[in-house]
Amino acid sequence: MSRLYDNWGKLVAKVINREDLREIALLDSLSSTGFSSATSAHLSEASPYLNRNSNSSIPSNISKYSEADILSSPHVKAFTFNELRNATRNFRPDNYLGEGGFGHVFKGWIDEHTFTASRPGSGLAIAVKKLKPKGFQGHKEWLREVNYLGQLHHPNLVKLIGYCLEGDNQLLVYEFMPKGSLENHLFRTWPQPLSWKTRIKVAIGAARALSFLHEAKEQVIYKDFKPSNILLDGEFTAKLSNFGLAKAGPIGNGTTQVRGTHGYIAPEFVATGHPTAKSDVYNFGVVLLELLSGRRVLDKNRVKIEQNLVDWAKPYMKDKRKLWQIMDMKLEGQYSEKAAFTVANVALQCLKPNPKVRPCMAEVLAKLEDLQLAEESLAGEIQMAPRLWHRLLQLIGGF
């Protein structure tokens, strides 16, 4: 009986959280029709993810800070280059983590109280990004990263600890994310493929991050949502990083340079140069499809008809009986067919060509949380997808 009440408690908590998200997303329109300020305040306090009225989570004038204001923020530490050189052991090759559009990333260690360099393996592990002088992103993007991550605080945004700006040396210091990027888990060699449960957890974490940005008092459009910008902590909690292309929204009538990653950019952004929150929703739909299929959105190594994942997969996503044909083989059938079809449907809604009919991220998040709740109620009894394994056995001659 106690277990029944525990499960009921979880159900109530999930539903309350889901409804909070929906109400907060509609706060502005409801207030114009007499929605009480007391109720607004209650909802703002109730939701741990979205808070339109709190300047502590996202200041209303975040895009208007000067460079001096940004770099003097009390939320981030100004490191010297020598401090970061010591923390990374002079940027040793064995501390090298990888490379991105911004530059090279190294692992380091600092004392969690004094932030001075500590012995490798002791203290606080950090990731240090070192800007490439002639890289894809420059000082403007570097400063934008310090601005946004120095002011925004959310469980699903990577924590910016500090920065260094000395001459030509421009570096950023983040919390270290031990599981790396989602891209590495989906498309590169990783000892253990992501389970279905973990993929849903990652999708929900990423959706919470985008919802938070979109529902802020001053909306933030992320513009570059993709697996390499989704980092995973030790518990596979997804955290969004790399705000170099982020922009305060909504964007006015003027166009902006179309920058992002080919394959993820929404068609209307390419056509008009106007990024919106619905452009981010399209990006999310692409990543959701990558989570389902384990395939890159663009892959020239595949046969021509399968090189563009979105175009190839859409017909299968609409038919529950055919969906198994696009599912990631590394899942080995360990997922519910019903759940997979639900996720596919959410992805399809996000990928609609007309941005006006796409859901907002709060609605996407609610759908995914409902799915997670339903799967948890099964107490882990996820059945193997029969069509997938029937087909696999046929292919290997089992029948």
397: number of Cβ within 10 Å: 6
How high is the pLDDT of residue 395?
Answer: 66
User: Sorting pLDDT into bands at 50, 70 and 90, what band is 159?
Assistant: very high
> Tell me, what DSSP letter sits at residue 354?
S
Residues 264 and 182 sit within 8 Å (Cβ to Cβ): no
- 267-326: per-residue pLDDT in tens? 898 888 888 999 999 999 999 999 999 999 999 999 999 999 999 999 999 999 999 999
Which structure tokens are listed for 7? 């499960």
How high is the pLDDT of residue 263?
Answer: 78
Kindly report whether the peptide bond that precedes residue 250 is cis, defined as omega within 30 degrees of 0. Answer: yes
Which structure tokens are listed for 367? 């759908």
Which structure tokens are listed for 278? 């619905």
> Superfamily assignment of 180-380 in CATH?
Transferase(Phosphotransferase) domain 1 (1.10.510.10)
Distance separating alpha carbons of residues 231 and 239, to the nearest angstrom: 5
Stretch 178-203: mean pLDDT, rounded?
A: 92
Please list, in sequence order, all residues whose beta carbon lies within 8 angstroms of the beta carbon of residue 11, skipping any fewer than 6 positions away.
373, 377
User: Sorting pLDDT into bands at 50, 70 and 90, what band is 230?
Assistant: very high
How high is the pLDDT of residue 269?
Answer: 87
How high is the pLDDT of residue 32?
Answer: 35
Read out DSSP for 98-164?
Answer: EE-SSEEEEEEEE-TTT--B--TTSSEEEEEEEE-TTSSS-HHHHHHHHHHHHH---TTBPPEEEEE
Nearest by Cα to 105 from 93, 117, 123: 93
**Mean predicted lDDT score pLDDT of the chain:** 80
Can you tell me whether residue 388 is helix, strand or coil? helix
Is pLDDT at 11 greater than 60 in this prediction?
no
Q: For the ranges 7-16, 168-177, 286-295, 340-349, which has the lowest average pLDDT?
A: 7-16
How high is the pLDDT of residue 144?
Answer: 85
Q: For the ranges 22-36, 326-340, 380-394, which has the lowest average pLDDT?
A: 22-36
How high is the pLDDT of residue 78?
Answer: 94
Residues 80 and 117 sit within 8 Å (Cβ to Cβ): no
The residues of the chain that CATH labels 1.10.510.10 are 180-380
How high is the pLDDT of residue 373?
Answer: 93
Is pLDDT at 19 greater than 70 in this prediction?
no
Is pLDDT at 4 greater than 90 in this prediction?
no
Stretch 234-246: mean pLDDT, rounded?
A: 91
How high is the pLDDT of residue 379?
Answer: 53
20, 224, 280, 328: which one is catalytic? 224
Read out DSSP for 214-257?
Answer: HTSSS-EE-----GGGEEE-TT--EEE---TT-EESS--SS---
How high is the pLDDT of residue 61?
Answer: 56
Nearest by Cα to 316 from 250, 388, 375: 388
Can you tell me whether residue 165 is helix, strand or coil? strand
- 45-95: per-residue pLDDT in tens? 333 333 333 333 555 555 556 777 777 778 899 999 999 999 999 999 999
How high is the pLDDT of residue 2?
Answer: 46
How high is the pLDDT of residue 70?
Answer: 74
Distance separating alpha carbons of residues 184 and 376, to the nearest angstrom: 27
Distance separating alpha carbons of residues 299 and 304, to the nearest angstrom: 9
Please list, in sequence order, all residues whose beta carbon lies within 8 angstroms of the beta carbon of residue 8, skipping any fewer than 6 positions away.
none
384: number of Cβ within 10 Å: 13
The residues of the chain that CATH labels 3.30.200.20 are 67-175
Can you tell me whether residue 166 is helix, strand or coil? strand
Can you tell me whether residue 61 is helix, strand or coil? coil
Is pLDDT at 128 greater than 80 in this prediction?
yes
Stretch 113-125: mean pLDDT, rounded?
A: 93
pTM above 0.85, yes or no: no
The rounded percent of the chain whose pLDDT value lies above 90 is 56
- Which range is most confident: 63-72, 204-213, 374-383? 204-213
Distance separating alpha carbons of residues 145 and 223, to the nearest angstrom: 13
- Please say if 224 is a catalytic residue: yes
129 is in an annotated binding site: no
**Three-state SS annotation for 65-77:** CCHHHHHCCCCCE
How high is the pLDDT of residue 18?
Answer: 45
- 180-189: per-residue pLDDT in tens? 999 999 998 7
**CATH topology classification for 67-175:** Phosphorylase Kinase; domain 1 (3.30.200)
Helices (H) and strands (E) in the chain, counts: 14, 10
Which structure tokens are listed for 250? 């909504």
